[in-house]
């Protein structure tokens, strides 16, 4: 492994952050943290005089027990609950929760940084579907719209929103909902807003290029598509949800994605104890899953291990290891270090550090 070279000053207000000159830093020896075997090099910026280290660029910066992060990530995308994760990696539920939130934020940023637009000039097919689940109680329903690209099976967008389903009048469930709404206000139905956001994401990723969107026959999709995407660029094809869910069903890729989502995310299973207490935490869980799905997991079991959705889309030159997904902090957008960069020199946005002369 080549020696780490700081690609920029980590201080956002410093000129050397956005426009680093070669040798903007001075080496300041190294320190030996208790949790890592190798020494961590230290530096000082010549411009703002601030000190920093290799650790300042890592996503596990200031973490306790950073060595459990990869295992925790693997457990979380395998349908494991937070308590069970804590038992396996020997952390308290509280520490698991805070690590979960931090990793989810990093994965949201990573997904956003790596998926800024879709390459290719040709025709692409997209599929959209909603998974229904619940928060807190099975009466408080949630919708999870999922958008994928057909060939790569990459998950391009996912969202979570509350929906309101009224149980049979006079039933116990209906009385429960009335009591709940008395205390918390009427439950909002955000299905429309949620699907609109997902289609907005498709517009930003695919722009004016031609494509086809495949969905089931829910009337909302056609109406929102006409509003969100430019006229005549995105064709719409609907398939009845009554058709058998076989490989010959035009919606097979999205049905497969839904099944995988339920299998890998305990929170989405219909009968489980791992119910999301809050929709927000389900969103976090999905960010983790999308990072795993697009950049690490093979597209299908019939593909080679290295063929990930990101590779098929042309957004990644190879599969990213778990350690790489969690390596560098991703909060500087295209200025963040690329996950595959071992020495820190390659940025997401290809803005390479000028070679020191």
Q: Applying CB under 5 A, which residues contact Zn ion?
A: 9, 11, 14, 16, 45, 47-48
Query: Between vectors from CA 197 to CA 195 and to CA 199, what angle results, nearest 5°?
Result: 70
CB 289 within 8 A of CB 296: no
When the beta carbons of 18 and 300 are compared against Zn ion, the nearer one is 18
Shortest Å distance, C-beta 56 to Zn ion: 11
Q: What are phi and psi of 30, to 5 degrees?
A: -155, 170
- Say how many C-beta atoms besides its own lie within 10 A of residue 1's C-beta: 6
Mutual angle of helices 252-264 and 279-295, in 10-degree steps? 120
When the beta carbons of 10 and 145 are compared against Zn ion, the nearer one is 10
When the beta carbons of 10 and 86 are compared against Zn ion, the nearer one is 10
324 closest CA partner among 116, 108, 118, 107: 107
Report in angstroms the alpha-carbon separations of 45 from 21, 48, 131, 312: 11, 6, 49, 40
Give the torsion sign (CA, 267, 273, 279, 284).
Answer: negative
When the beta carbons of 282 and 337 are compared against Zn ion, the nearer one is 337
Shortest Å distance, C-beta 28 to Zn ion: 13
When the beta carbons of 47 and 228 are compared against Zn ion, the nearer one is 47
Shortest Å distance, C-beta 118 to Zn ion: 35
Shortest Å distance, C-beta 9 to Zn ion: 3
Shortest Å distance, C-beta 11 to Zn ion: 5
């Amino acid at each position: 492994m080549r020696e780490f070279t700081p690609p920029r000053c980590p201080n956002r207000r410093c000129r050397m952050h956005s426009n680093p000159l070669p040798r903007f830093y001075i080496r300041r020896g190294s320190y030996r943290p208790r949790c890592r075997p190798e020494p961590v090099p230290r530096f000082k910026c010549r411009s703002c005089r601030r000190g920093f280290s290799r650790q300042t660029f890592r996503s596990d910066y200031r973490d306790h027990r950073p060595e459990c992060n990869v295992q925790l990530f693997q457990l979380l995308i395998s349908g494991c609950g937070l308590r069970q994760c804590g038992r396996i990696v020997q952390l308290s539920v509280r520490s698991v929760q805070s690590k979960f939130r931090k990793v989810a934020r990093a994965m949201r940023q990573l997904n956003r940084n790596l998926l800024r637009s879709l390459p290719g000039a040709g025709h692409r097919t997209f599929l959209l579907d909603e998974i229904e689940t619940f928060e807190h109680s099975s009466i408080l329903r949630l919708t999870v719209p999922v958008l994928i690209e057909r060939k790569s099976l990459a998950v391009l967008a996912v969202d979570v929103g509350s929906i309101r389903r009224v149980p049979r009048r006079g039933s116990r469930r209906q009385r429960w909902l009335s009591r709940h709404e008395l205390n918390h206000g009427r439950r909002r139905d955000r299905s429309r807003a949620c699907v609109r956001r997902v289609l907005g994401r498709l517009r930003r990723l695919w722009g004016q290029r031609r494509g086809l969107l495949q969905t089931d026959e829910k009337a909302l999709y056609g109406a929102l598509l006409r509003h969100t995407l430019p006229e005549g660029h995105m064709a719409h094809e609907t398939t009845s949800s009554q058709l058998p869910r076989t490989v010959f069903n035009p919606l097979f890729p999205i049905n497969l994605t839904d099944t995988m989502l339920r299998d890998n995310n305990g929170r989405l299973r219909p009968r489980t104890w791992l119910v999301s207490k809050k929709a927000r935490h389900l969103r976090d869980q999905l960010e983790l899953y999308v990072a795993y799905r697009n950049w690490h997991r093979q597209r299908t079991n019939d593909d080679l291990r290295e063929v990930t959705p990101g590779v098929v889309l042309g957004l990644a030159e190879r599969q990213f290891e778990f350690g790489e997904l969690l390596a560098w902090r991703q909060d500087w957008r295209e200025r963040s270090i690329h996950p595959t960069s071992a020495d820190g020199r390659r940025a997401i946005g290809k803005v390479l550090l000028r070679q020191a002369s």
